[in-house]
Chain A
Amino acid sequence: MVNHPTLTVSVQQSDFDVAQLQRALLAGAQEEGAVATFTGYVRVSNGRGDVYSMELEHYPGMTENSIMGILQEAAQRWPLLATSVVHRVGKLRPGDQIVWVGVSSEHREAAFSACEFIMDYLKTRAPFWKKELGPGGGHWVAAREQDVSRAARW
């Protein structure tokens, strides 16, 4: 039983390589039987029209700390070995990767559940804001009730 999983958070402008992130998550691993990962992308359409690009704003300091808090809570709920979040900020385009969550554990149940929990909490708690730019100009994305109810399940 591992009580001190490795928790890492990166908020960055640059793109990321999911294969490299997964290798880093498993660095030195012996006991891992499962890794679950999630990658989020910028969609080309938001249901209101085309998205040309997106600006992602955050609250430096609070954003990293709030994600770390979410990872610590996940580590209390499930027997995790390592978990990592990478989230991009700045200008992004449709098809770009926005967020990556990786979780390793001995068995798949904890990895699946923790990965989903981390994304649900990140969506409703971490201070990021998306502004979409399309044919009609700029538009701040509204928070979705569906995301709040998904987070409330945990």
Chain B
Amino acid sequence: MLKVLFFARIREQLGRASLDVEWRQQVSDLDALQQQLCLENGALWREVLGQDNIICAINQTVVDGDAILQDGDEIAFFPPVTGG
């Protein structure tokens, strides 16, 4: 199982903070997971997760789209950070 988290504007736009996704070997990297989420959830998700400034993290480390997924990973999608 993969745990997928959404934060800030993305969380609000999707209307949810987290999602459990069954881990499958065919969905091997982050780009593939993003495509799967968009396919399964429709136009709103394609629009929100398709924004080009989204930051992705695996197990709380920022990674690129070709990062490999493993069963049990915690994935997060969030907009550019604005703390401080």
Chain A residues within CB distance 8 Å of chain B? 40, 56-59, 61-62, 65-66, 87, 98-99, 119, 122-131, 140-143, 147
Please pick, from A58, A61, A62, the residue contacting B83 in the complex, using a CB distance under 8 A: A58
Residue of B nearest to A141 (CB): B82
| Cα separation A143 to B81 with both chains bound (whole Å) | 6
Residue of A nearest to B83 (CB): A128
Known: A61-B60, A65-B60. A127 touches B7 (CB 8 A): yes
Please pick, from B12, B57, B80, the residue contacting A143 in the complex, using a CB distance under 8 A: B80
Q: Which residues of A contact B82 (CB under 8 A)?
A: 123, 128-130, 140-143
Please pick, from A65, A119, A124, A131, the residue contacting B81 in the complex, using a CB distance under 8 A: A124
| Cα separation A124 to B5 with both chains bound (whole Å) | 20
Residue of B nearest to A38 (CB): B84
* CB–CB A59/B84 < 8 A: no
Interface residue? B30 (CB, 8 A) = no
Smallest Cβ distance from A69 to chain B, in angstroms?
10
| Cα separation A140 to B83 with both chains bound (whole Å) | 11
Q: Which of B9, B60, B80, B82 has the most CB of A within 10 A?
A: B82
Q: Which residues of A contact B53 (CB under 8 A)?
A: 143
Chain B residues within CB distance 8 Å of chain A? 5, 7-9, 12, 53, 57, 60, 76, 78-84
| Cα separation A60 to B83 with both chains bound (whole Å) | 14
| Cα separation A119 to B80 with both chains bound (whole Å) | 16
Q: From DSSP, what is the main secondary structure of chain A's interface residues?
A: mixed
Q: From DSSP, what is the main secondary structure of chain B's interface residues?
A: loop
Q: Which residues of A contact B80 (CB under 8 A)?
A: 142-143
* CB–CB A129/B84 < 8 A: no
| Cα separation A62 to B59 with both chains bound (whole Å) | 8
Shortest 7 CB-CB contacts between residues of A and residues of B: A128-B83, A143-B80, A129-B8, A62-B60, A123-B84, A141-B82, A140-B9
Q: Which residues of B contact A125 (CB under 8 A)?
A: 81
Smallest Cβ distance from A20 to chain B, in angstroms?
21
Residue of B nearest to A121 (CB): B84
Q: List 11 A-B contacts (CB under 8 A).
A: A59-B57, A66-B60, A98-B84, A124-B81, A126-B81, A127-B7, A129-B78, A129-B79, A140-B8, A142-B80, A143-B82
